[in-house]
Amino acid sequence: MAHFTCHSEVALLRQRSAALFFGSDLLGAAARYLLTLALAVWVQQDTGSAGLAGLTMLFVTAGGLTSPLTGALVDRLPARWALVLPLGATAAVLTTLQLGDGRPVLPLLYAVGFLYGALGAMADTAQSVGITQLFEDDALVQVNALHQTLSRGLRVVMPLAGVGMYAASGIGLTVTAVCLLHLAAAALVLLLPLAPAAAESEPFSLRALGRDVRRGQAVIHGDGLLRVVVYAAAGSLFFLNFFESVGLAMVTQGLGRSATYLAFLITLQGFATIVSGTLLARFGKGVGLGRLMLAGLACFALSALLQGTGVLPLVVTAMLVAGAGLPMCIVAMVTTVQSRAPREQLGRVHGAMQFVIGVPQGIGVALGAWLVTVTDYRIACGVICAGLLVTALALAAARSRPLSAAAWRAGEPVEEPAGAAR
């Protein structure tokens, strides 16, 4: 009877921890996606310049590339404060937008955008570390799938909600609502049963921080399975970001419809992502991480092939297939980092991973824009398909390496034999 009572108490504690964590995750993600597009619209309406509005998004993206630094900082903080700090700091930074007469002060706004992106990257890394403390290793795929489902669902809904709130109430009330959401998320984190001490107590210095950044990259390069999965994800996201430009040409030239039709297709893709993530969260326990990544890459390649046809039913199918593949790749990548990286270095490794996939995404957008200006969009779709297939073949080839027969199947950390190829 005592054993049953103890087991019940542990189960209730885990349920409470999961509810608090995902409640905080939901509020934080809602706040992040609520504001970014609204800020760009605010700048465009005040200045009349789409370029200046686009710079807002660029500074947010650039801030995210500080992830190796913020990841190293996460490793030096207790897990609870690593989660609370970016939430509270974001709320404090955003209050500066209330200065002035309701018009954007562009230098200040761009600085805020950069910090907003950097703190968002830190929050993502801290959440990954928190997940490993709160949940068992064999549940990581399901937990990460649920996390991605919530995040992707909010990414579809909240930007439009933020623009609507800005149109109805102005930037002041929109910023206030976002700050309150961040503070509410931080309050839930304070209730989580997380470890009270930081993973390491090495004194802080710029030299030590720089060394931490290098360590994160070294862990990725030194683990064969981790390296190949992270770089496969980077390759897939590089080619996927071609669609930022190719998608518009596909709709206007291939389908012969107005550019606004792209919003409908993107909504379909978001719906498929939510469904796929939900199924993965429900049935993903014990799934092989390498196979999961390969399945996601296959979905992306098929989607690119179908989008090049210019036939509406096939294009709709393509968007659904791409949406289904996205959580497969992201969950495989994040779970591989969590299960392979040393726990005391997980923050810096996750930060390095964010940087490795972030830079190719930006380059992919630029190359996609160039490609559709110099050639037919169907050729661009073929290039995307070929690039994704090459990425998938490189990932599949890693199965022949001696490092990971068991790890490839189940994502379990495995000791590599001495002299194994790296």
Which pLDDT value is given to residue 7?
Answer: 46
Residues of the chain with pLDDT > 90: what percent? 14
353 falls within a domain: yes
CB atoms closer than 10 angstroms to residue 343? 12
What is the residue type of 114? F
Among 194, 225, 248, which residue terminates a domain?
A: 194
Which pLDDT value is given to residue 204?
Answer: 56
**What gap in Å lies between CA 225 and CA 291, rounded to an integer?**
12
186 and 302 assigned to the same domain: no
Q: Which of 159, 151, 112 is nearest to 128 (CA)?
A: 151
Q: Could you identify the residue written with the tokens 């809602």?
A: 30
57 and 185 assigned to the same domain: yes
pLDDT of 200-239, one tens digit each?
Answer: 555 555 666 677 778 888 888 888 778 888 888 888 888 8
**Band (6; pLDDT cuts 50, 70, 90):** very low
256 and 134 assigned to the same domain: no
Q: Is 56 exposed, middle or buried (0-12, 13-18, 19+ CB in 10 A)?
A: buried
416 falls within a domain: no
- Segment 184-189 shows an average pLDDT of 92
pLDDT of 337-382, one tens digit each?
Answer: 888 888 888 888 998 888 888 888 778 877 877 877 788 888 888 8
Cβ(355)–Cβ(220) below 8 Å: no
23 and 104 assigned to the same domain: yes
325 falls within a domain: yes
Among 100-114, 258-272, 393-407, the minimum mean pLDDT is found in 393-407
* HSE of 144, CA atoms in CB hemisphere, 13 A: 30
**What gap in Å lies between CA 227 and CA 233, rounded to an integer?**
10
What is the end-to-end Cα distance of the chain in Å, rounded? 52
**What gap in Å lies between CA 74 and CA 131, rounded to an integer?**
13
111 and 158 assigned to the same domain: yes
- Segment 39-59 shows an average pLDDT of 79
- Segment 26-34 shows an average pLDDT of 87
- Segment 46-75 shows an average pLDDT of 83
Whether residue 290 is predicted with pLDDT greater than 70 in this model: the reply is: yes
**Band (241; pLDDT cuts 50, 70, 90):** confident
- Segment 84-105 shows an average pLDDT of 85
- Give the CATH number for residue 364: 1.20.1250.20
- Segment 169-190 shows an average pLDDT of 90
CA-based torsion, 189, 192, 195, 196: positive or negative: positive
Domain that holds residue 44: 6-194
CB atoms closer than 10 angstroms to residue 54? 13
Among 159, 194, 229, which residue terminates a domain?
A: 194
338 and 243 assigned to the same domain: yes
Whether residue 185 is predicted with pLDDT greater than 90 in this model: the reply is: yes
223 and 350 assigned to the same domain: yes
Which pLDDT value is given to residue 115?
Answer: 93
267 and 394 assigned to the same domain: yes
Which pLDDT value is given to residue 421?
Answer: 34
Total domains in the fold of the chain: 2
**What gap in Å lies between CA 411 and CA 407, rounded to an integer?**
4
pLDDT of 130-158, one tens digit each?
Answer: 888 888 888 888 888 888 888 877 877 78
Which pLDDT value is given to residue 4?
Answer: 41
- Segment 96-100 shows an average pLDDT of 77
42 and 109 assigned to the same domain: yes
**Band (12; pLDDT cuts 50, 70, 90):** low
Which pLDDT value is given to residue 2?
Answer: 44
Classified as helix, coil or strand, 389 is: helix
* Rama region for 286: left / alpha / beta (φ>0; ψ in -120 to 50; rest): left
Among 194, 225, 244, which residue terminates a domain?
A: 194
91 falls within a domain: yes
CB atoms closer than 10 angstroms to residue 89? 18
Which pLDDT value is given to residue 5?
Answer: 45
Q: What pTM value is reported for the model? A: 0.79
Whether residue 180 is predicted with pLDDT greater than 90 in this model: the reply is: yes
Q: Is 46 exposed, middle or buried (0-12, 13-18, 19+ CB in 10 A)?
A: middle
Mean pLDDT of the chain: 80
210 falls within a domain: no
pLDDT of 298-316, one tens digit each?
Answer: 999 999 999 888 889 999 9
Whether residue 317 is predicted with pLDDT greater than 90 in this model: the reply is: yes
- Segment 94-99 shows an average pLDDT of 83
Which pLDDT value is given to residue 134?
Answer: 84
39 and 80 assigned to the same domain: yes
- Segment 258-275 shows an average pLDDT of 82
204 falls within a domain: no
208 falls within a domain: no
Residues of the chain with pLDDT > 70: what percent? 85
**What gap in Å lies between CA 308 and CA 106, rounded to an integer?**
40
Q: Which of 31, 18, 53 is nearest to 146 (CA)?
A: 18
266 and 393 assigned to the same domain: yes
Phi first, then psi, for residue 358 (nearest 5°) are -75, -40
- Segment 117-129 shows an average pLDDT of 91
Whether residue 85 is predicted with pLDDT greater than 60 in this model: the reply is: yes
Which pLDDT value is given to residue 41?
Answer: 83
Cβ(207)–Cβ(88) below 8 Å: no
Q: Is 341 exposed, middle or buried (0-12, 13-18, 19+ CB in 10 A)?
A: buried
**What gap in Å lies between CA 231 and CA 252, rounded to an integer?**
33
Which pLDDT value is given to residue 404?
Answer: 40
Which pLDDT value is given to residue 209?
Answer: 65
97 falls within a domain: yes
**Band (182; pLDDT cuts 50, 70, 90):** very high
Q: Could you identify the residue written with the tokens 């994160």?
A: 216
303 and 349 assigned to the same domain: yes
- Segment 282-296 shows an average pLDDT of 82
Q: What are the CA-CA distances from residue 59 to residues 40, 104, 106, 122 (Å)?
A: 11, 15, 11, 16
